[in-house]
Amino acid sequence: MRKGLTARPKRLPAWLFYDEAGSRLFDAITELPEYYLTRTERAILKAHAAEMIAQAAGPQRLRPRLRILELGAGSADKTRLLLKAATGLQGAVLYEPVDVSRSALEAARERIEREIPSVTVAPRVMDYTHGDGSRLHLGPAEPQERRMVLYIGSSIGNFEPHQAALLLRRARAALEVGDSFLLGVDLVKQEEVLLAAYDDAAGVTAAFNRNVLVRLNRELDAEFDPEAFAHCAVWNSAASRIEMHLKSRVAQHVHLAALDLKVTFAAGETIHTENSYKFTPGRAEAFLTEAGFRAEATWTDPRGWFAVCLGRAE
């Protein structure tokens, strides 16, 4: 936090959004009329879940059992569509949701096992994002199993491209040849549509953005007045990303007691809080290929706003 708040321009890491209040605000964002991402991806999964599962399982005569692991599973809401399709194909399914939030995983387990009794949920509390080059430990699959790793929800878009590439390479290194990786990405589209999704009329995304200041007040004994910062969403077309910033409405000093730090803001000065990269068609497939997967299939919606791609470990 010290490094980010004393940098020029100032920045904070995007993981800071997801404390309890922030996770609730994010859930509310996914229901907003302007936030098309979740609803569009869900529609793609609804229309194509059976094909995705069949493609991951491979040709019928060789078909091994799929064991499904999801990175950053959260509430695993959309995943149920894939799990239902997998039970249709093979009966019992082992599902391993990975997340940093134990409570989100427990809630997901309770709901999934109640709704789809043939799915056994084995939650794994793990931070898969720390791309320090270390291996991602998924543990061994049984000989007759093939892993299918899900990374849906456009979460890959919150990483810088080099970090996203590293994450995919680490996932590939943890998989065996023939395993598969399902990646959900948000696509480039009209600027007005993108901007509205990150600056909604009800102000939920603004509250989500300002919540990082509330969190710093609580956890680092800081004295931010969240209302003294305006929420800004900007489309950076050169970098193909939506950026979120908090813009100081006035010149001010803010004390963070736990860091023994006083941060000075000029009027209009910003803190960069998030990037959300948007992919051009073919870009997600290129990422998969560069990481050692063969891009086998892509599913999209009629407007071409979102894509779900399946890569096979080669």
Query: Given the rule CB under 6 A, which residues bind ligand AVI?
Result: 29, 37, 153-155, 157-158, 198, 205, 274, 276
Q: Which is nearer to ligand AVI, 29 or 263 (CB)?
A: 29
Q: What is the maximum alpha-carbon separation in the chain?
A: 69
3-class DSSP state of 147: strand
**Nearest residue to the partner ligand AVI, using Cβ:** 276
CB of 46 to ligand AVI, least distance (A): 19
Q: How far is the CB of 137 from ligand AVI (least distance, A)?
A: 24
CB atoms inside a 10 Å sphere around CB 238: 5
Structure-block tokens of residue 287: 């990422």
Nearest CB to ligand AVI, comparing residues 186 and 269: 186
Report which DSSP code applies to 167.
Answer: H
Nearer to ligand AVI by C-beta: 269 or 274? Answer: 274
Nearest to 286 by CA among 305, 254, 306, 309: 309
Minimum CB distance to ligand AVI, residue 8 (Å): 24
Contacts of 250 (CB under 8 A, 6+ apart): 228, 265, 267
- By beta-carbon proximity to ligand AVI, the closer residue of 29 and 136 is 29
With respect to ligand AVI, which residue has the nearer C-beta, 145 or 301? 301
Q: How far is CA 273 from the centre of its chain?
A: 15
Q: Are 116 and 144 in contact (CB under 8 A)?
A: no
H/E run at residue 80: helix 79-90
Contact in structure between 56 and 310 (CB atoms under 8 Å): yes
CB of 75 to ligand AVI, least distance (A): 12
CA-based nearest residue to 85, from 59, 49, 129, 113: 49
- Provide, rounded to whole angstroms, the least separation between the CB of residue 2 and ligand AVI: 24
| Pick 157 or 311: Cβ nearer ligand AVI | 157
Write down the least CB distance from residue 155 to ligand AVI, Å: 5
